[in-house]
Each structure stands twice: as C-alpha cells, then as structure tokens.
Amino acid sequence: MFSNLLHQKATLITIITALLTAITAIYMLSSTTTNANNTTEESMRASNVLKTAMSNLTHAKIVPRPSKTRGAANHGWLDTKHTFSFGGWYDPRYTQFGSLRVLNEDRVEPGEGFPTHFHQNAEIFSYILSGELTHRDSMQKKGAESNDKDKFFRMHRGDVQFTTGGKGISHSEFNEDSEGKKEWTHFLQIWALPWKRNLPPTYHTKTFSEEEKRKGFVTIITPLKAGANATLEEEKAAIPAQEGTIPVHADLVFSAGIIPVGETFNYNVGGGDAVSSKSDRKVYIHVPEMKGGKAKIRLDGREDATLMEGDGAYVTHVNANDVLRFESVGEAEAEVVVIDSE
C-alpha cells in the first residue's frame, strides 16, 4: 500500500512538472511571437521611414501605366501601340494628359509608310528610335529631293521632326529604306494640343546628340518664347524658350535621356524657367521598347514606381523646379522620354 502511495505521488509530480513545462513553453512562444511581431512592425516602420527619406518628392503622386493597358494594332506594314485613344482604339480612361493627346510607339516595314495626309490644329513631333523615316512635304515628290529640311528630310536615330498643323498642312512619312538595310523604322509619334487654333503651319527638324543623352536629360522641345500672343513676325522667328530646342505652341517641355545601368538622372520639372505655368505640372514618362525587355527604371526611389520597357507613368502634384529622380535598375541602359505640360 505504501508502495502504491509512493507511485501515485511520483506520477502526480511528473504530471505537474509536465504541465509547468508546457505552460512555460507557451509563455516563451507567446513572448517570442510578440517580440517577432514588434520587430516586424518596427522593421516596417523603419522601411517606410527609409522609403520616405529616399523620396525627393513626397508630395508627388506617381501612377504607373503598364504597357499591357495600351491599345495595339498590327496592320502588317505598321505595328503600333497607343498610350491614348487613337484611330480605331478608344478607352475613355485614356484620352489625354495635360496638353499631351497622342503617344504612339510605331514600327513601320521597309518600303511602307503614311501616304500624304492632312494635319490641322495639332503640334506633332516624331522621335526616331531606330531605322529611317523620310518626310516629304505634299509638294515634294519622290525623285525630286530637296536640301530644304522643311520639304524633304531622311530622319534617323537622334532626329526629331516637329510639325505645327495650324490652319492645315499635308505631308507623307515613309520608310523608304534608301540604303537597302531592310530595317523596320521604330519611332514615337507624339501630338500635343496647341494653346491657339489656326496658327501658321510650319516644320522644324533637328538632331540631338546621343552622347549628351547618356550624360543626362536633353531638353528637345520648349514653348515658343513669345507665347500664345505671338505676332506673325515672332511666329516666323520661331525662338524657343530655351536656346537649342524646338519651339512648340503649348506650355510643354519634351526631354529624353539614355540612362546607363546603375546610374541616376535628375529631371527638373518644367525645364526650370522654360514654362509659364509653374504649379501642378503634369509629367508623363515613357520607356520605349528598345532592349528586349532588359531595361528598367525606378522613379523617385519608390519600389511601387518601377517601370519596364513599354510602361509609362503619370506624375502629378509637382511644380516647376521640383527634381524627379530616375534610376536605371535593369540589365540594359534605359532610354526614357518625358512630356511635361500644364
């Protein structure tokens, strides 16, 4: 009997010890989980603080526009993608952004192109990415080439041609493949809405250095210095707000850069003093499809503002002289264009 009592006592002690061990384990696990949660929360707070510190423009709103949301059409000779509603593609969400009305990324087959067509009351510019695109005024027939860039010009990479449609102008654009390379032409076709209708129609053509684009953003287009109330003489003089650029009839700046891998470029909103509307600028960014998907950029140090090739981004709540940071974080250099309007 005494032996049984000892056995029961030993069993009871074992059970109590097991319970105490379990309670201790539960407490330690709870404490560890709480500490882990606290550590996670602290890490998240620190990460957010770090992200804020990395951002130069905490007041800016940046909304990426994925490439897959663009309209697309393949006509055989023309493979095109539309950022904004154009031709047979219409989406009420994407009609314009500030003065920016059209941003098409076009590829044109050798020997094909756009026959003589009419433009009116639009500011239109072609930014050549690769290949050859021949501009002919409506009066300039093939075989009767001219040294006048306004009438005839074979554009290549680095060239920009600008057209003020104004009261009306006609021209053609063809990939004439004059050197027999059988290379498709790849270019951006961009339209802006002018500040005044029925302006005198005109052309401007200019080449911009690729070497300079690899050092930082190159300003290509700035507003006509004389502004919306320019006289006919001032229109003919065509003096831009920033020397060396092409004048546009809109409060708009167009810039381009080629950012080497691992490097950072800064973009000054509004081109400094180039624009008249200083507050609440609307900046659209586009990354052309140039490197087979290997190029990638990050805006303002924000992980949720990383753009692949073909992507774009809307930047709002920014003012002239704000600095927007572009980082090249892909496997290949990133060519980037910026359209900055009122």
CATH number, position 180: 2.60.120.10
Which of 14, 37, 54 delimits the end of a domain?
54
User: Which uninterrupted H or E stretch holds 314?
Assistant: strand 312-318
Do residues 18 and 129 both lie within one domain? no
Task: Give the pLDDT score at 149.
Answer: 60
Do residues 13 and 102 both lie within one domain? no
Do residues 88 and 226 both lie within one domain? yes
Do residues 94 and 5 both lie within one domain? no
Q: What is the DSSP string of 92-153?
A: TT-S-BTTEEEEEEEEE-TT-EEEEEEE-S-EEEEEEEES-EEEEETT--TT---S-TTTEE
pLDDT tens-digit map of 12-36? 444 344 444 444 443 443 444 444 4
Task: Give the pLDDT score at 163.
Answer: 94
Task: Give the pLDDT score at 196.
Answer: 95
- What's the farthest any 2 CA atoms get from each other in the chain? 126
Do residues 223 and 258 both lie within one domain? yes
Please give the share of the chain, as a percent, with pLDDT higher than 90.
75
Q: How far apart are CA 170 and CA 174, in angstroms?
A: 14
Total of domains in the chain: 2
Do residues 6 and 76 both lie within one domain? no
Do residues 15 and 109 both lie within one domain? no
Cα of 9 vs its chain's centroid, Å: 79
Under the banding of pLDDT at 50, 70 and 90, the label for residue 142 is low
The most confident of 110-124, 166-180, 279-293, by mean pLDDT: 279-293
Residue 137 token pair: 């005024």
**What is the domain range of residue 48?**
1-54
Which of 54, 72, 98 delimits the end of a domain?
54
Do residues 268 and 285 both lie within one domain? yes
Inform me whether the pLDDT recorded for 42 exceeds 80.
no
Under the banding of pLDDT at 50, 70 and 90, the label for residue 104 is very high
Cα dist. 71→81, 82, 266 in Å? 5, 5, 30
Which of 54, 73, 92 delimits the end of a domain?
54
Under the banding of pLDDT at 50, 70 and 90, the label for residue 296 is very high
Work out the mean pLDDT of the chain and round it to a whole number.
Answer: 86
Task: Give the pLDDT score at 5.
Answer: 39
Do residues 166 and 188 both lie within one domain? yes
Do residues 202 and 159 both lie within one domain? yes
